[in-house]
Amino acid sequence: MRITATKRLVRCAVAAGVGIALAAGVAVGKAEAKTEDGKFLVYYSMSYVGNAWQTEAKNTVIAMAKAPQYRDRVELRVQASGPDAQKQIQQMNAMIAAGADAIVAFPISPTALNKVIRNACNKGVVVAVINGVTEPCAYVVKIDGVALGDYRTQYVIDQMGGKGNIVAITGVPGVSYGEDHHKGFKQAVARHPEVNVLAELVGMWSHPEARLKMRELLATHSWADIDGIVAQTGCYTVSQMQVEDGWWPDNPIIPCAGESANGNRLQMLPVDSGIEGALGKTGQSIGSGLWAVSYTFKTAMEVLDGNEDVPHLRWYTGVEVTQDNVKLCETGSAEEFAAGCNTIKPGIVPPDYAIDFWSPQVPELGFRAATEGMLDDES
Amino acid sequence: MSEVPLRSLPRLSWQQALARNRRLLVAVTAFIGIFVCLDVISPGPISYFEINFLSSNTGPLAFAAMGQTVVFLIGGFDLSCGAVLSLVNVIMALHTTDSLWSQVLMCFAGLGIGAAVGAINGFFIAYGRLQPVVVTLAVMFIILGLNLLLMPDPGGYIPYGLSMVFTGDLIPDGFPAALLVILLALGFWALLKRSRFGTALYAVGSNEDAAFANGINVARTKFLGYTLAGTFYGAGGVFLSAQTSSGDPLVGSGMLLLIFAATILGGTRIGGGEGGCLGTVFAAFTLMLISNVLIVLNWSPHVMPITEAVILLLAVIGASIGRDTSLAEYWRVTGLKISGLRHRSLPSFHTSARSNAGKLATSWTPRASDELSGPALWQWTTKNWDVLRLMVPAWTLLVVVYILVVVVIGGESVSVHYLNSLLTLALFLAVLGLGQGAVVLTGGLDLSVPHTLAFTGVVLAALCNGMDGPAYWAVPLVLAIGVGVGLFNGIGVVLFGMPAIVVTLATNGIMQGAGLLFTGGIPTGRSPPALVWFFTERLAGLAPAAWFLIGFAGLAYVVLHRTTFGRRVFAVGNSARVARLSGVRVDWTTLGVYVLSGFCSALAGVLMTGFSSVSFLNMGQRFLLPAIAVVLVGGTLAIGGRGHYLGIFGGAVLLTAVGTLVSGSELHFAWRDIIFGIVVLGAVLTLRERAS
């Protein structure tokens, strides 16, 4: 028994040794990276696959890489790592090994990726990150979560007339942007002693979750108890619930400030517009920046093109849409968005579809970019 | 070596040695295969730097999976490992300072925290005689909540020196420090395995009774096993902290499935007694390298979940190829049946036994007891106490929570409205509880629920697109899809003899991929209005969904407790062998529970689509662990054979009531997880079988 056990150990050590030797044997420097046809090789490392937002983000990056100024110079490859930080680290490292010139990443964790990013920087790979990592060599495109939370909350409190019960629907607990947003919420509420926080619901940035949590709250409260809602995601859903429960049209929809879901904006259209889902509600819709994903790609390209003045941290703010400036698009082309439309007709996209893929910083992208990953003029 | 061994064991021939180490061999072959494959397909050679990086990146997974391996070896199952990893990470990131002493101290503190959590698990499992799934699920919930209380969002700091110890170079451009740390751990394991304690671990995992009969202290071995596993998680947490040089309260949760995959791929048998840490470490490396292969292949991200699932399935099938597999056995039996056809006498067709007609009538009037006295209710309770005691904790706690809701929140809590909300929200858990409950009753577990639910939901919404017309065929169609998924799971478990956890985990990945491919990542369409009506209309104060729940509970009760199928489920759960010898078709029954679970997942998907009025690809995720919790709180024994649907039903309503309590009051959300954990643990503690 003992003999075989020892032998087994030895045998396995040999197997491990073979692996290491294999590795060491081939450890020669890698050739200068670029794809065979001389294009820049850019990777997009997404984390989750599985919600509409992430798919839209992926599509906009794909579309952006087809823009005339990049079309002939860039090869874009997209990879997903799943919800595990270790895997994203491994994936990004594999991208470096595969000869990436730039990596655009949507990080699972703002801190866990620091090392692999530093490593990429050391190897001359440009890393551009959406919504922030703490590694200073990365190019970070980031929204100010605290400011956004404060701004949204202030809007709702103004609509409430400065007093009453407010409900917050937060994001995924433990994620920086969500926590920052909630800090902003608290900070705004603290300025108004007559505003009472009725509940803080964990919405997980998901409409079904927002609905479940809201139903839990409504088990013990009624709509009449709520005067305003600040939702990181869920304004569309909570407004829809008020219709289902018959609270509307006898009462106005409770003011809600939140996400850029198409349904949320459609609800702001006047009822007499005849558009399905229009409620004429008072509300505010500011995206957390779908467009910033393709903007991050642009940032990476700027750096690759040799622009040394690109700042390592770019703050951005979302486009604000309220009942006063909500406007329906006809075709959803980039030009139309540039002319001021900001909502897609119902039925074409699901109501939770984030609609802030266009912004003055990424004027190339229309509706097709987010749905199909194509530019307007593409056939 | 002058000593003469008392008895020398015969040397194994190389075939025997090969057969013994087949599982390990598969893990090693998989690693070498993927390594060579990567070297061939990647444009450049693999550099030292990549080896270093791979080692330091695999470290946390390898350590965590080693802990899980120890738990598997003693026949356990540990859901808390990911949470422990985060806990150690969070505490280290918050409290480590630059001084050398602090760094050394915090490393040991990390191990200590892991060991402490492991000891808590071990205490309840070994001495409290509770089931591992329940205890570790509860501990997981509590730690997840604790992590968020300690560190609300990512941050903190780990000194550079500490990072370098784990992830730097031992010999610059020669040997990575991370690999040394992993090798040291493996050396430790090799020594441990050959110690008395190591033998005891394997003995307890192989056969508890035999181990006990041979003088092994089973409880102590289990307790120490869990503590050891916890220490490994602690080491994983320390490694993780060093590798990420910061803290993140969520970082470990995402690793849970990967940890299971590494342990199973490494050749450790679920149920105990076979396997070891060496295979696990190789498997951890393999799993990490898959990312590299996928990068080079440049496949669509939507295919990723399917690819991983297929690799997991192939590995497990590969580890169990041989003549003694279930599949081979089925072939043999089928062959015998076919060859036996020729010699078979013609079946005789029985006519109904007319002679008995009218003689065997059920008497519905209660039989007067000759032993019990007192009021009829008391007699009834005494007679049915064995069943009732399963339901008591859930329903008692429900009353307690309800009183808390009324006292703390007040509001509309004393009304039909509250009852309606409670029932409609509990509907999903009650439906999933039936499927999961049936599977657990046979000793299995169905992890394919989340994406089966989501897939049926998105398909239904896309087919109906807001109209009632298509619903007449679309609803049956998606329910049939659920049945199909259940069939797939059941065949994997019954025919291929694979562990339920592996098959259903893989199915979940496949369904996730299927959902992504079907929708292109963006689900479209809306629920048929009839389904929305189901939740918004009021019939005599309650929504149709609430009435449906009441009817469903009755039906589920009949299925589990008043049909032959139900009785067979319990029989299989109590002992598959005894059931088989008693003439129960164990394979068909097992297949049946997975089909039932698939059907329930699909039904929950249909209901969830109606509830949300649209469908989402991620809408099933949040139900998996609560559904398992509901089953366990409802008095179901995790190793099968004991349970009652009315207990599960009570559990579903209880957890929903806890939700209304947390959402309606000003409690910090982290407390929801903690309360969940305490409720699960508390309910099961009161259910504990008295030590005989």
Give the pLDDT confidence of A260-284 residue by residue, as tens digits.
Answer: 999 999 999 999 988 888 999 999 9
Residue B67 has pLDDT above 80, yes or no: yes
Residue B347 has pLDDT above 90, yes or no: no
Q: Do B60 and A86 touch (CB under 8 A)?
A: yes
Residue (of B41, B88, B282, B55) closest to A86 by Cα position: B55
Tokens standing for A3? Answer: 């003999």
What average pLDDT does range B92-109 have in this prediction? 93
Is B23's Cβ below 8 Å from some Cβ in A?
Answer: no
Is A270's Cβ below 8 Å from some Cβ in B?
Answer: no
Q: Do A115 and B536 touch (CB under 8 A)?
A: no
Q: Do A350 and B21 touch (CB under 8 A)?
A: no
Residue A244 has pLDDT above 70, yes or no: yes
Q: Do A111 and B246 touch (CB under 8 A)?
A: yes
Residue B689 has pLDDT above 80, yes or no: no
Give the number of other CB atoms < 10 A from CB of residue A176: 23
B24 residue type, one letter: L
pLDDT one-digit tens code per residue, B107-150: 999 999 999 999 999 999 999 888 888 899 999 999 999 999 99
Q: Do A206 and B619 touch (CB under 8 A)?
A: yes
Quote the minimal CA–CA distance from B56 to chain A in Å.
10
Quote the minimal CA–CA distance from A330 to chain B in Å.
20
Give the number of other CB atoms < 10 A from CB of residue B214: 11
Q: Which residues pair with A43 in a beta bridge?
A: A77, A103
> Residue B691: its pLDDT value, please?
41
> Residue B1: its pLDDT value, please?
44
| ipTM for this prediction | 0.88
Q: Which residues pair with B105 in a beta bridge?
A: none
> Residue B497: its pLDDT value, please?
82
Please give the domain boundaries of chain B with CATH numbers for all domains: 52-298 (1.10.3470), 387-687 (1.10.3470)
Q: What is the dihedral of CA B543, B545, B547, B553, to 10 degrees?
A: -150
Q: Report the DSSP pairing between strands A40-46 and A283-286.
A: unpaired
Task: Give the start-to-end residue ranges of the domains of chain A.
Answer: 40-137+289-318+356-372, 145-286
> Residue B319: its pLDDT value, please?
67
Report chain A's C-alpha Rg in angstroms. Answer: 24
> Residue B321: its pLDDT value, please?
64
DSSP B442: T
Quote the minimal CA–CA distance from B313 to chain A in Å.
19
Residue A112 has pLDDT above 90, yes or no: no
Q: What is the CATH number of domain A40-137+289-318+356-372?
A: 3.40.50.2300
Q: What does the alpha-carbon distance between residue A186 and residue B666 come to, in Å, rounded to a whole number? A: 14
Residue A32 has pLDDT above 50, yes or no: no
Chain A residue whose CA is closest to B536: A244
Quote the minimal CA–CA distance from A59 to chain B in Å.
10
Mutate to test the interface with B, among A36, A84, A232, A372 (most CBs of B within 10 A): A84
Q: Give the domain A145-286 fold.
A: Rossmann fold (3.40.50)
- Alpha carbon B587 to its chain's center: 21
Instruction: Give the dihedral sign, CA B74/B77/B81/B84.
Output: negative
Facing A115 at nearest CB: one of B245, B294, B614: B245
Facing A174 at nearest CB: one of B249, B302, B616: B249
Mutate to test the interface with B, among A60, A179, A220 (most CBs of B within 10 A): A220
Q: Do A115 and B243 touch (CB under 8 A)?
A: yes
Tell me if domain A40-137+289-318+356-372 and domain A145-286 are identical in fold: yes
Model confidence band, residue B453 (pLDDT cutoffs 50, 70, 90):
very high
C-beta separation of B49 from B284 below 8 A:
no
C-beta separation of A268 from A329 below 8 A:
no
Tokens standing for B373? Answer: 């006295």
pLDDT one-digit tens code per residue, A133-186: 888 999 999 999 999 999 999 999 999 999 999 999 998 888 888 899 999 999
> Residue B368: its pLDDT value, please?
66
